[in-house]
Amino acid sequence: MVRAVIFDLDDTLIPEMQYIESGYQHIAKIISDKFKISRDEVFKNLLALFKEDPKNVFDRFMSLHKINYTRNIISNLVEEYRNHFPKICFYDDVLCCLNYLKSQNIKVGIITDGYANAQSQKIKAVKAHEYFDEIILTDELGREYWKPHPRAFKEMCSKLKVNFNEMIYVGDNPEKDFYISAIYPIITIRINRENAEYELIHKDKKYYKGIEEHHRITNLEELINLIRYKNI
């Protein structure tokens, strides 16, 4: 019997690309004000650089525009990016799914990796605390407890007062979201959202220690059907 459904956050409940674009809009204003470059040009450059390679985007932007910069400038931009209050929203199917789960007396939670400040701002932006029974930011436990470490799952079971075999975890990243089923009898579901631009990053990733999900879906309506028709 399913008594709890726990979700990953990025590209499961919210589009990560939407968050990235929000962050670059925020940074574009800062860079535009400081270096007198068109804000629209800065934003387009940042986004293009990210799509080429998500690493060291701010450094590469500075080099592109032949701007002399220090590590302190880059560090400040990174902090601004992580701490900004994002303009994001849930995917369209999220609230309907949560309403269904609650109507079945199924508890709902979030376990998410990522820098605590950034994840906390995302949680606030979508008012997740209004909809979820428990939310665990693994970074607040310590980076060594990011998934696939099982600590957050153990704490979630304790907080929700459910057993491992009564829990479902829905995520999207094969490198860390599904290995938990090798440790605890948790049912895992991989969501591959159609047309999710940032999700393409996970497309060719390998499963951690070869452990795959139990089920695969493309939207949360399919999750509802799995539970409704007792296919889990």
Regarding whether 104 and 33 lie in a shared domain, the answer is: no
pLDDT for residue 197: 63
Regarding whether 130 and 152 lie in a shared domain, the answer is: yes
Regarding whether 95 and 63 lie in a shared domain, the answer is: no
- Among the candidates 37, 63, 83, a domain finishes at 83
> Helical H runs in the chain?
16-35, 39-52, 57-64, 71-83, 94-103, 116-125, 138-141, 151-160, 220-228
Instruction: Give me the number of domains the chain comprises.
Output: 2
Regarding whether 171 and 62 lie in a shared domain, the answer is: no
Regarding whether 60 and 172 lie in a shared domain, the answer is: no
Regarding whether 136 and 64 lie in a shared domain, the answer is: no
CATH number at residue 178: 3.40.50.1000
Regarding whether 24 and 116 lie in a shared domain, the answer is: no
pLDDT for residue 25: 99
pLDDT for residue 232: 75
pLDDT for residue 194: 79
Low-confidence ranges of the chain (pLDDT < 70): 195-203
- Among the candidates 83, 99, 131, a domain finishes at 83
Residue 218 makes CB contacts below 8 A (sequence gap 6+) with 191, 192, 193, 194
pLDDT for residue 196: 65
Domain extent for 48? 17-83
- Among the candidates 58, 83, 108, a domain finishes at 83
Regarding whether 41 and 10 lie in a shared domain, the answer is: no
Regarding whether 101 and 11 lie in a shared domain, the answer is: yes
Regarding whether 217 and 104 lie in a shared domain, the answer is: yes
pLDDT for residue 64: 97
Residue 31 makes CB contacts below 8 A (sequence gap 6+) with 37, 42, 61, 77
